[in-house]
Amino acid sequence: MPTLRDIKRRIKAVHSTSKITKAMKMVAASKFRKAQQRMFELRPYADRMGAVLSSLAGGAESEIHPLLAVRPRKNVDIIVLTSDRGLCGAFNSNILRAASKHISHLKKEEFEVNVSAIGRKAVDYFKRRNVPLKKSWTGISGRISYANAQEIAADIIEHYTNEATDEIILAYNEFKSVAAQKVVVTRLLPLASIEATAETLPVFNFIYEPSKEDIFNNLLPKNVEIQIFRALLESQASEEAARMSAMENATKAANDMINSLTLQFNKARQASITKELMDIVGGVEALKG
């Protein structure tokens, strides 16, 4: 049975942990607000750019640009986006589970799958499972810039235009709310043309100025950069939201443990006092006898 000193030491340790988790929640909340603002500012631009280029691709020949080329699928690259740090609940485990499931599905269909990782958690996860990584990027979480997206996009575009891969898939967490993030596994390349619907731009035979080649040469690589940048910001906002929730739950659990230990401490102290009183009474009775 733990002594009063042991219980008091545990209460102090848990109280210190509670202070740390509360401070981490406040830091995550500050980072989340900034990440959320950047993400919301980019979302409309990224959505509209993707819709416009998909509409243009519907009326263009695939030979006009290498990023529009659709080849028979043999080699598939999947890029898994996680965080560099933990303490964010199921944020990383959800995306890694979904990515692993998709990789297994592709391998069952006898595609050659190459895995790349963004974030230290993804790198460590695949290394532990002896999965060779085609490319990895770390140290991005919390310091996301457009230059990061350009670097990743340049590598992706190079592999696709050199026909080293036939399809590129991006897996990341999309921000929905502070309490919910959605795992997204989407095709990045080749750019899919869209069918005309009420929600999308109609497919027309456009008049291009200055030329169709110039427009696609400038916009298609830019679109890849924007979509990757959007995924990075979505993941960052989701990570900080998940960390806020995780630290809040940890703080509540610590406070519950403090209450439980305090009750245990009071009971043990009361039992100790009662025992001492009984010993005193027993001694007095013995002297009377």
Q: Phi/psi of residue 176, each to 5°?
A: -115, -50
169-176: average pLDDT: 92
Place of tokens 């965080």: 83
Active site residue 88: yes
Output the pLDDT for position 122. 93
**Portion of the chain with pLDDT greater than 70, in percent:** 91
Output the pLDDT for position 59. 63
Per-residue burial over 128-159, b if 16 or more Cβ lie within 10 Å, else e, is: eeeeeebebbeebbeebeeebbbebbeebbeb
Number of Cβ within 10 Å of residue 104's Cβ equals: 11
Output the pLDDT for position 194. 44
- Cross-strand pairs, 181: 175
Question: Is 236 a residue whose pLDDT tops 90?
Answer: yes
149-168: average pLDDT: 91
pLDDT tens, position by position, 42-94: 999 998 888 888 777 766 666 677 888 888 888 999 999 999 988 888 899 99
280-288: average pLDDT: 73
99-118: average pLDDT: 92
pLDDT band at 195 (very low <50, low <70, confident <90, very high): very low
Output the pLDDT for position 150. 93
**Portion of the chain with pLDDT greater than 90, in percent:** 44
Q: Residue 16 corresponds to which tokens in the numbers above?
A: 């210190």
Stated length of the chain: 289
Question: Is 32 a residue whose pLDDT tops 70?
Answer: yes
pLDDT band at 198 (very low <50, low <70, confident <90, very high): very low
Question: Is 209 a residue whose pLDDT tops 80?
Answer: no
Residue among 53, 88, 117, 140 flagged as catalytic: 88
124-144: average pLDDT: 90
Question: Is 163 a residue whose pLDDT tops 90?
Answer: no
pTM of the complete model? 0.84
Q: Which residue has the higher pLDDT, 209 or 186?
A: 186
239-255: average pLDDT: 91
Question: Is 114 a residue whose pLDDT tops 80?
Answer: yes
Q: Residue 81 corresponds to which tokens in the numbers above?
A: 């986006």
Question: Is 185 a residue whose pLDDT tops 80?
Answer: yes
Q: Which domains does the chain have, with CATH numbers?
A: 4-21+246-288 (1.10.287.80), 35-245 (3.40.1380.10)
Output the pLDDT for position 196. 38
